[in-house]
């Protein structure tokens, strides 16, 4: 089941639990605006190429729309639509004053030179500059884009609208980016894990962890779990998988990855079959890589007691049912990985005020938001007698529905 079908299914289920009016339910699913632009740019050799750019703005009932821009060969309108909708519910769960959006350009970034990427980004910005804005739609980095991409968008947008640092988040620190943004998603995952474990009378320090994916999110989550005394017994990335039942030395592994570009040949752990990683014996499994990795083929073999969804949509609905029957507790992506968008919100607030925070304040506020959101989700679970995923979805959908009704949606 693809991301769009799964998101729609979760939304409909939440709408049924909440008893939403069918007309309101239908109107909440329809995106506010879908933008498609052709970006024609000269390549370094002088030839002209055209790329298709998208921006889906899903809902702005609770505030400006917010969501990433990805550069990827398979930027498909359906997927962008699903991700924009997911951002609407995610920002509502985190209780930050945003709606959802998502965008992208169908290109292969590693096949483009730096100057080609810059020209492409600037042309895309020229085409959409009057449809985004500090109080309209605030883009951010996603797959294939980074702080440099945001710097180009900021510069190009500012040519039309004057200096506007709050137009994008995930910027370089020197251009108004926030301290703590780099680690935010991984740190949020750890705060979410702490809140969940505390609810079961457990703490990170007594448990074993398996982490799938060792990019930005996975490596930060691993580092922070290691600092809190958690024992990480297996990790993987695209280069391979390693295990050590006594716990992997994470700072040493991060240094090894920086030096060699992968996890292989790390002296403090043994190589293992990457396919065994998700079904490895452990207390807590944290998928931080691609969607759909837990499916009906492997779900029944999962041995973890808790799954923290740091990736987007790592568990497909069939696996969800199998794991629920086994009594595995799943902390849903819509909450678990919302640390990134929460600190993006802090960055936007700092830019609007023209007053920057120190990193300690950013991290303390993030912990406050993540912990509060968990207690709000648990309250929904109790009042609707549902699991954490539906608790999060009903919380998010209910907030958007209430804002929509209060603003007068039929007028």
Active site residues: 102
Quickly list DSSP for 113-177: -HHHHHHHHHHHHHHHTTT-BTTTEEEEE-TT--HHHHHHHHHHHHHHHS--GGG-SS--GGGTP
Angle at CA of residue 23, ends 20 and 24, nearest 5°: 50
Strand partners for 327: none
CB atoms inside a 10 Å sphere around CB 371 = 15
- Output phi, psi for 77, to 5 deg: -55, -35
Q: Confirm whether residue 90 is marked as ligand binding.
A: yes
Please name which of 46, 40, 183 lies closest in space to residue 120, comparing C-alpha atoms: 40
Q: Confirm whether residue 66 is marked as ligand binding.
A: yes
- Is the CB of residue 112 less than 8 Å from the CB of residue 78? no
CA distance linking residue 28 with residue 23, whole number of Å: 9
Q: Which two tokens stand for residue 279?
A: 């079904």
Q: Confirm whether residue 27 is marked as ligand binding.
A: no
CA distance linking residue 385 with residue 395, whole number of Å: 13
Which helix (H) or strand (E) is 85 found in, with range?
helix 77-94
What residues have CB less than 8 Å from 294, skipping those under 6 apart?
A: 278, 287, 302, 307, 314, 315, 316, 319, 323
Q: Could you give the strand order of the β-sheet that contains 33-42, starting from the edge strand earlier in sequence? A: 33-42, 48-59, 99-106, 65-72, 137-141
CB atoms inside a 10 Å sphere around CB 252 = 13
CA distance linking residue 272 with residue 190, whole number of Å: 25
CA distance linking residue 378 with residue 321, whole number of Å: 20
Q: Confirm whether residue 315 is marked as ligand binding.
A: no
Please name which of 38, 64, 31, 35 lies closest in space to residue 52, comparing C-alpha atoms: 38
Cα 234 to Cα 162, 225, 333, distances in angstroms: 49, 13, 21
Annotated binding site: 66, 90, 185, 216, 344
Annotated binding site for NAD(+): 185, 216
Annotated binding site for substrate: 66, 90, 344
């Amino acid at each position: 089941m693809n991301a769009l079908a799964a998101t729609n299914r979760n939304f409909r289920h939440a709408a049924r639990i909440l008893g939403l009016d069918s007309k309101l339910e239908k109107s909440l699913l329809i995106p506010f605006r879908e933008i498609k632009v052709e970006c024609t740019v000269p390549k370094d050799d002088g030839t002209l190429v055209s790329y298709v750019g998208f921006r889906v703005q899903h809902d702005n009932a609770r505030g400006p729309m917010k969501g990433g821009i990805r550069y990827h060969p398979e930027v498909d309108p359906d997927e962008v639509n699903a991700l924009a909708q997911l951002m609407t519910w995610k920002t509502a769960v985190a209780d930050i004053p945003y709606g959802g959006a998502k965008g992208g350009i169908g290109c292969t970034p590693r096949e483009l030179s730096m100057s080609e990427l810059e020209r492409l980004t600037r042309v895309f910005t020229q085409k959409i500059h009057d449809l985004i804005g500090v109080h309209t739609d605030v883009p951010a980095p996603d797959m294939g884009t980074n702080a440099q991409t945001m710097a180009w968008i900021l510069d190009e947008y500012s040519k039309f609208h004057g200096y506007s640092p709050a137009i994008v988040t995930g910027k370089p620190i020197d251009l108004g980016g926030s301290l703590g943004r780099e680690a935010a998603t991984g740190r949020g995952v750890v705060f979410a894990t702490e809140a969940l474990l505390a609810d079961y009378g457990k703490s990170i320090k007594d448990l074993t962890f398996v982490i799938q994916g060792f990019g930005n999110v996975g490596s930060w989550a691993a580092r922070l779990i290691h600092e809190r005394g958690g024992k990480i017994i297996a990790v993987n990335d695209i280069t391979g998988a390693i295990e050590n039942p006594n716990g992997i030395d994470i700072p040493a592994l991060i240094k090894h990855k920086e030096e060699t570009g992968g996890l292989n040949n790390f002296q403090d752990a043994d190589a293992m079959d990457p396919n065994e990683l998700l079904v490895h014996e452990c207390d807590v499994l944290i998928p931080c890589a691609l969607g759909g990795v837990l499916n009906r083929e492997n779900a029944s073999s999962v041995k973890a007691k808790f799954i923290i969804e740091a990736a987007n949509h790592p568990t497909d609905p069939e696996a969800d049912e199998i794991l629920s029957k086994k009594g595995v507790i799943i902390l849903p992506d819509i909450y678990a990985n919302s640390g990134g968008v929460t600190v993006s919100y802090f960055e936007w607030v700092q830019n609007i005020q023209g007053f920057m925070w120190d990193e300690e304040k950013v991290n303390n506020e993030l912990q406050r938001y993540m912990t509060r959101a968990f207690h709000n989700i648990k309250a929904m679970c109790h009042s609707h007698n549902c699991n954490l995923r539906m608790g999060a979805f009903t919380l998010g959908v209910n907030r958007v529905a209430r804002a929509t009704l209060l603003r007068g949606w039929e007028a």
